[in-house]
Structure 1
């Protein structure tokens, strides 16, 4: 029997994604003037595929039913943007784009934290008996 719903693990994975994205954006901003630095990004598709492959299992009631199996590629969710160059020194960091991504990621993170706080508040209310 599961003590908590799967919402907590989903929110945890979403927070991990947001944290990784924050680190990558920070690295891009820190290297905005580094010659030949190529900007990086976090691929949501890669992270979703890794989670799907590692934790998703289907229940089959008939042997003719399909299995949900993904190809375990082992790709890193961090990808490098190689074909871009915004400056003469070969750097591919667009500071305006990075700052917009940073703001969007912060809003996403705050929304996840608010949802997690709501789940804990609901649990606390249940434990106290609705008082």
Structure 2
């Protein structure tokens, strides 16, 4: 349990997600010309866990379906291998990756701003409202 409450823990969880997503997008962009490279994406595993508590059961009926067991820090990294954008087997769409990178940067900055707001409030309380 955090001394700052659940909201700061949730912001930290969001920041961890954003950092992992940034690393994944950077890896995809770095491998844009690599033959047979398949783009990766990051998803919240917690959503799947919540659904599984409510009776949702994942069943793989095809090897192309997502594997629900592979996670990193509570997030799932998936590879979409059934598409191909380039003649060399690569499926990285650079425009999509750059768009996702811009969205992720905005998301990250908004979380940092929110976290700063929490700490500024705490600092105001410590100073006695001054």
Both structures adopt the same fold (TM-score exceeding 0.5): yes
Question: Which residue is equivalent to 1:57?
Answer: none
How big is the shift at 1:4?
1.9
Q: Which has the larger radius of gyration?
A: 1
Question: Which residue is equivalent to 2:70?
Answer: 75
How big is the shift at 1:75?
3.3
Question: Which residue is equivalent to 2:96?
Answer: 97
How big is the shift at 1:49?
3.8
Question: Which residue is equivalent to 2:18?
Answer: 18
Which runs of 5 or more structure 1 residues have no equivalent in the other structure? 54-66
- d(CA) in 1 for partners of 2:95, 2:80: 16
Question: Which residue is equivalent to 1:42?
Answer: 42
Instruction: From the superposition, tell whether residues 19 and 119 of structure 1 become closer, same or farther in structure 2 (CA, over 3 Å).
Output: same
- d(CA) in 2 for partners of 1:28, 1:79: 12
Which runs of 5 or more structure 2 residues have no equivalent in the other structure? 58-67
Report the 3-state secondary structure (helix = DSSP H, G, I; strand = E; otherwise coil) of the residue aligned with 1:12: helix
How big is the shift at 1:113?
0.2
User: TM-score of the superposition, structure 2-length normalised?
Assistant: 0.79
Contact 2:22-2:101 at 8 Å conserved across structures: yes
Contact 2:39-2:92 at 8 Å conserved across structures: yes
Report the 3-state secondary structure (helix = DSSP H, G, I; strand = E; otherwise coil) of the residue aligned with 2:32: coil
CA RMSD of aligned residues (A): 2.4
